[in-house]
Amino acid sequence: MNRLDGKTAFITGGARGQGRAIAEKFAREGANIIVCDIDGPIEHIHYPLATAADLKETEASVERLGRGVVAEIADVRDQEQIDRVVAAGLDKFGHIDVVVANAGVLDNKPFWEMTDSEWKVVTDICLNGVWRTVKAVAPHMMERMRGSVILTSSTNGQEGDAGNMSYVAAKHGVIGVMKSAALALGQYNIRVNALLPGPVDTIINDNPGTRDRITGKAGATREDYLAACRNWHVLRGRSALAPEAVADGAIWLASDESRHVTGLEMLIDAGHRLLPGLNF
């Protein structure tokens, strides 16, 4: 299948996890890939962020699939760094058809203990970083009168969560960015949609605090986490989703198959939201 033949896609936070799965699936469907991520830790984030080596792996993987790739270290907290990646991608491929604003971080400190700078780091990446990413590609897409913009929110973009208020606030904010950008860019034939994954088995959930809170068990392991996730899904046997499950949704939003779709909150959550009273 070559649903993205001839297209170029820009993915932030693509060194690993869902971002890498999206880069690989898009490449398999024919797209050239522009990808960025950070190298190493960020203050206040208590699990390992991606490294330059992770980004190299994504780059190598896209190359193995026979597609062109631009892979650069860039922090979505800095507009100039994003603009530099977009310029490098345009230099190599001449156009960007799809953008996936995927980079995100999580901190689950109780909100009454959170400092100003702890709050700001999550919202600056998860919300402001999404705005900066759209801003970086919008003029190019407007000029071409085409484009598909995909913003990664979360089921936490629709639901509260007792534990990660900064993340929940940012992911709700992403829905606002998505709706407003869809309205602003529709006249340029640019579609803007949001991905709302449920729990996905990636390193973001290696945050020890998240594991313990979700499983109710101190020192919870990945296995404990996956077992807990099984109770949250309507679809039989589903644990935390694989990153590829989210990439499957992203492909549809990126491809012309969704050409009449804009402003969609695409839940990929195995029915998680249908279960009442979940509060973890």
Q: Which residues bind ligand NAD (CB under 6 A)?
A: 12-13, 15-19, 37-38, 49-50, 75-77, 102-105, 125, 129, 152, 154, 197, 199-200, 202-205, 243
- Cα–Cα distance, 275 to 278 (Å, whole number): 7
**How many Cα atoms are found within 13 Å in the side-chain-facing hemisphere of 32?**
16
Residue 216 burial (CB count, 10 A): 10
Residue 5 CB, shortest distance to ligand NAD, in Å, is 26
For ligand NAD, the closer CB: 78 or 143: 78
Question: Residue 59 has which token pair?
Answer: 């780059």
For ligand NAD, the closer CB: 141 or 195: 195
Residues 6+ apart with CB under 8 A from 117: 43, 44
For ligand NAD, the closer CB: 193 or 202: 202
Is 137:101 a contact under the CB 8 Å cutoff?
no
Distances (CA, A) of 268 to 24, 175, 200, 215, 243: 19, 15, 10, 21, 11
Question: Residue 256 has which token pair?
Answer: 């012309």
Is residue 188 annotated as a catalytic residue, yes or no? no
Residue 40 CB, shortest distance to ligand NAD, in Å, is 9
The DSSP symbol for 39 reads -
Helix (H) or strand (E) holding 135: helix 129-144
Catalytic residue among 47, 167, 188, 225: 167
For ligand NAD, the closer CB: 125 or 192: 125
Residue 145 CB, shortest distance to ligand NAD, in Å, is 28
Q: Angle at CA 246, nearest 5°, toward 143 and 119?
A: 80
Length of the chain: 280
Residue 187 CB, shortest distance to ligand NAD, in Å, is 28
For ligand NAD, the closer CB: 97 or 269: 269
Residue 49 CB, shortest distance to ligand NAD, in Å, is 4
Is 26:1 a contact under the CB 8 Å cutoff?
no
Pairing status of strand 147-152 against strand 8-12 = unpaired
For ligand NAD, the closer CB: 129 or 173: 129
Compute CA 168 distance to the chain's CA centroid, rounded to the nearest angstrom.
14
- Cα–Cα distance, 191 to 72 (Å, whole number): 26
Question: Residue 18 has which token pair?
Answer: 């869902």
Residue 128 CB, shortest distance to ligand NAD, in Å, is 10
By annotation, the residues acting in catalysis are 167
